[in-house]
Amino acid sequence: MKKIVTKFGGSSLADAGQFAKVRSILLMDEARQYVVPSAPGRRFKTDDKVTDLLYKCHRQVENGEDFEETFDLIAARYMDICEELGLKVDISAALDEVHDRIAGGANADYCASRGEYLNGLLLADYMGWRFLDAAQVIRFDDDGALDAELTNTLMAEALADGVPTVVPGFFGAYADGTVHTFSRGGSDITGAIVARAVNAAVYENWTDVSGFLMADPRIVDDPREISVVTYKELRELSYMGASVLHEDAMFPVHKAGIPTNIRNTNDPTHPGTIITLNAPADAKNPTITGIAGRKGFSIVSVEKAMMNSELGFGRKVLAAFEDNGVSFEHLPTGIDTMCVVVAGAALAPVREKVLAQIVASTSPDIITVHDYMSIIATVGRGMVNNCGTAARLFSAMSKAGINVRMIDQGSSELSIIVGVDDADYENTIKAIYNAFVR
């Protein structure tokens, strides 16, 4: 039978009312047999996320401060949900145990992980489903990296009986059982791991938005929703700052060829965004899928006549960055120039050292640095088949009076990347959006 794995974010499980929505979504389709909950998130704008409160408790204990008040806020969240839904699980005993472990100096990861653990206990009781402690099935190696293959085996074995199960998100454990978490937002990864392990037909990631938008709504008024995006396109868009899903959550499902569907718990009939391996170009938006960007880059350009025939030139330039702990983001090159695009904040503290090393090792003719640059990626699987895309993009920018400082087209023809001054960032995104979508 077809299986669907669902993951619900913190706002989807923030209180009893949200729990009720989740239950009805789960019951709406009997293929939804596995659910990964986050910790209770914000109920209103100024509210606390339980995960943040748990980290706070840990800090307070570490600093020798009283953490009771903070813990009471956490306990109240779970007790309220439990009482309002009339659940039978002994959540106060579970809370007592967490309280005592925190008081006893448990590590930060253990403390933070209890947000999803306790929420999982509530949800399992509410659904009448099995609870599977993620610490038993998600395994990290000694360096803290996910052991993806062992995890997949353990998870698949634990879920092989087909019993509907709740697996709390965000954490797993080392071989000795010590709890370890993913980075923030990591319940998305747990959901993807479960989806791979049960070979789900789809991984549904339920949140509080109806999928991805083609551009940042703070910049473009009412941008269109993206109905279908490929994993590769999404990788480019999220690298550039568009975020709904934890980046590492794409790997397990992408590898297994399982589509991800971003859905809205507060608007459950909305189809959301589907992320797939391959997709035909969007009929509505045949050329571009989305636009995303980031500000605050520095571009170091190194110019030297006959650079192309000088063996090791590029390596020496890059070594200056590597030796000073700065990783590069893009590397557009010309015949006699090489540009290294780096995050401005990473370059600033070591700037003089990097430049001095480049000068010493390559004797360039000219070396210049442009700060306060934005990088904007226009991404679309439809670009390959549409000629004139670049012309359209650059003429829109020129009409808007924007000076293009850098151009980089990925070899996959999946995106066109432009560099502009930070001051032109918003206008560039608007101009590109209007040229292709409006």
Stretch that binds ligand ASP, among 92-100, 186-194, 225-233, 254-262 (CB under 6 A): 186-194
Answer yes or no whether residue 272 interacts with ligand ASP by CB under 6 A.
Answer: no
CB 368 within 8 A of CB 355: no
> Nearer Cβ to ligand ASP, position 191 or 419?
191
Give residue 295's Cα distance to chain centre: 18
Which of 51, 210, 265, 273 is close enough to bind ligand ASP by CB under 6 A? 51
CB of 94 to ligand ASP, least distance (A): 17
Convert residues 28-47 into a mask of x (bound to ligand ASP by CB under 6 A) and - (unbound): ----------xx--------
Answer yes or no whether residue 191 interacts with ligand ASP by CB under 6 A.
Answer: no
CB of 421 to ligand ASP, least distance (A): 34
CA distances from 129 to 32, 330, 372 (A): 12, 48, 53
Helices (H), 180-311: 187-197, 231-239, 250-256
Which of 184, 315, 353, 399 is close enough to bind ligand ASP by CB under 6 A? 184
418: nearest Cα among 319, 341, 337: 341
- 408/420 Cα distance (integer angstroms): 12
CB of 146 to ligand ASP, least distance (A): 15
CA distances from 201 to 25, 188, 267, 370 (A): 17, 17, 22, 48
> Nearer Cβ to ligand ASP, position 14 or 82?
14
Please tell me the count of residues contacting ligand ASP according to CB under 6 A. 13
- 76/70 Cα distance (integer angstroms): 10
Answer yes or no whether residue 11 interacts with ligand ASP by CB under 6 A.
Answer: no
- What residues between 61 and 120 interact with ligand ASP by CB under 6 A? 115
Convert residues 159-178 into a mask of x (bound to ligand ASP by CB under 6 A) and - (unbound): ----------xx--------
* Cross-strand pairs, 260: 203, 275
Structure letter (DSSP) for residue 251: H
CA distances from 94 to 20, 290, 334 (A): 22, 45, 62
> Nearer Cβ to ligand ASP, position 266 or 409?
266
In the complex, the residues that contact ligand ASP under the rule CB under 6 A are 10, 38-39, 49, 51, 115, 169-170, 184-188
